[in-house]
Amino acid sequence: MIIAIDGPAGSGKGTISKILAERLGYVYIDTGSMYRSLTYLVLRDNIDIDNEKAIYEAFSNCKMEITKDCRNLLDGEDISDRIRTQEINTNISKISGYPSIRELMRLKQREFANDHSIVMEGRDITTEVFPDADYKFYLDASIEERTKRRVKQNEEKGLESDYNEIYESIKNRDLADMTREYGALKRTDDQIYIDSSNMTIEEVVLYMLEVIK
């Protein structure tokens, strides 16, 4: 069973997909964390961000894993706490726009479904990675609501955050994610569309479970 979920930054995909996977007993895969891990690798090793071929080579030669408890390992090292920085957010769009990188990501992402039922979330999961998934959802929320959620998340982590800065960063990432030539975030007729702006996490999860039943 494959449940595919796409949506913009801060739409609640992560939290909701994780809970959904727990309730269904499926494996949860956050594909954004894979693009984040690769961006971390590029920055750490000073690889030229304009050099698609060099990035592809580094990606081909690294071992990227996601553990059962959703930790991101790069060549065996746990980098989960290092991939959610503003520096990564700023550089990720360029790297995730490269066609060869997206092709290899998709191959790796499809492998997760070989021996498990999965809930996978990202930007191109319903359209490119698993266009024939059993259930396809597009999770949305207004940009104002998504910014508020990010500010709250940061505060909970004890991080300082500026509303306007986060608003601009989300807006720029939306634009890059929705307009890139290859693997753009898209709405299609066969996705189940959910606007969660005025819904709680539990309400969204229950609605999805209802659809899946």
- CA–CA separation, 199 and 154 (whole Å): 20
Least distance in angstroms from the C-beta of 9 to ligand DC: 4
- Considering beta carbons, is residue 140 or 177 the nearer one to ligand DC? 177
Q: Which residues have a Cβ under 8 Å from the Cβ of 50 and sit 6 or more positions away? A: 94
* Residues within window 46-85 making contact with ligand DC, judged by CB under 6 A: none
Listed in sequence order, the DSSP H helices in the chain are 13-24, 31-44, 52-61, 86-96, 99-111, 143-156, 163-179, 201-212
Task: Kindly write down the DSSP assignment for every residue of 7-33, as one continuous string.
Answer: --TTSSHHHHHHHHHHHHTPEEEEHHH
Least distance in angstroms from the C-beta of 160 to ligand DC: 20
- Considering beta carbons, is residue 96 or 147 the nearer one to ligand DC? 96
37 binds ligand DC (CB under 6 A): no
Single out the residue of 17, 37, 72, 96 in contact with ligand DC (rule: CB under 6 A): 96
Q: Mask: binding to ligand DC, 120-159, rule CB under 6 A, as x and -?
A: --xxxx----------------------------------
- CA–CA separation, 91 and 103 (whole Å): 19
32 binds ligand DC (CB under 6 A): yes
- CA–CA separation, 203 and 51 (whole Å): 44
N-terminal to C-terminal alpha carbon distance within the chain:
13
Angle of helix 52-61 versus helix 31-44 axis, rounded to 10: 110
118 binds ligand DC (CB under 6 A): no
Question: Of 45-53, 91-99, 186-194, 198-206, which part binds ligand DC (CB under 6 A)?
Answer: 91-99
- Considering beta carbons, is residue 123 or 149 the nearer one to ligand DC? 123
Least distance in angstroms from the C-beta of 71 to ligand DC: 15
**Kind plus residue range of the DSSP H or E element containing 113:** none
- Considering beta carbons, is residue 124 or 140 the nearer one to ligand DC? 124
Positions touching ligand DC (CB under 6 A) are 9, 31-32, 35-36, 92-93, 96, 122-125, 173, 177
